[in-house]
Amino acid sequence: MKKIKIGDFVVGDNRKFVLIAGPCVLENEKAAMDVALYLKKLTAKLKIPFIFKASYDKANRTSINSYRGPGYEKGLEMLQNIREKLNIPVLSDVHRFEEIDKAANVLDVVQVPAFLCRQTDFVTEIAKKARVINVKKGQFLAPWDVANIIEKAKKTGNENIMMTERGASFGYNNLVFDVRSLPIMREMGYPVIFDATHSVQLPGGQGTCSGGQRDMVKYLARAAVAAGVDGVFFEVHRNPEKALCDGANSLYLSSLEKLLVTLTKIDALVKAGPNKNVK
């Protein structure tokens, strides 16, 4: 499997899973910095590689009245401050061509949103510019369709590619996660991340906003780590009920440590086979 260097750790190659976590969207810099610092200390304590994630513009919200974030200029400035002050890698999603150059200069990982994963020119442009590209697998794709996305990115010469599973849509405001997708995607030779909190989202489930099933996150995360996934993705918030985006499927920050301890134990057991690179 392809090994991808991010900061001072490696993703893939049967290494310990990486945690990608943070609030769904940047609400303000102080709150984001506070969460990032908490996560940095927690993952250092548990010896888990960590990438901070927050969106600067949620361009695919259910309602035109939904909070989208501070925008790409202010948002990227906030993410750069977090990256530099805390010395941690950062990830965010890009929705427009106009943002790619600046985002690639700031972000350690540039993410292609699920709804844009089939947009060939968009995927290749990000792959040309980004250090690492993380592509969210669209809810409308079968796992083997991911091979075509990987091929598009590889054609640019960038092989620092990660793929993220976030469930499949059957309409009626629901997503379903099939654990079989993880080994199918991993056999393509690139690290696979499981987005545990978006997989329990109920898109548009509350009419003008999405709902979610936070109580199901731990079960899906444990299944994904047991399947040997290379990373797990959580949206977290100190008070999800007051989150400005995706609160219904976000984890309470205070509940994360207990879950990560469990996932670390599962991960060590699963990856203690012939290729013993768990670090």
Confidence of residue 247 (pLDDT cuts 50, 70, 90): confident
| Closest CA relative to residue 24, chosen from 219, 207, 249 | 249
Task: List pLDDT tens digits, range 167-197.
Answer: 998 777 788 899 999 999 999 999 999 999 9
- CATH tag, 17-112+175-183+193-270: 3.20.20.70
Domain edges within the chain: 17-112+175-183+193-270
Task: Give this prediction's pTM.
Answer: 0.94
Give the CA count within 13 Å in the CB-facing half-sphere of 137. 31
Name the CA radius of gyration of the chain, rounded. Answer: 17
What single-letter DSSP state applies at residue 143?
G
Task: List pLDDT tens digits, range 132-165.
Answer: 999 999 999 999 999 999 999 999 999 999 999 9
Is residue 4 helix, strand or coil?
strand
Give yes or no for a contact between 48 and 267, defined as CB atoms under 8 angstroms apart. Answer: no
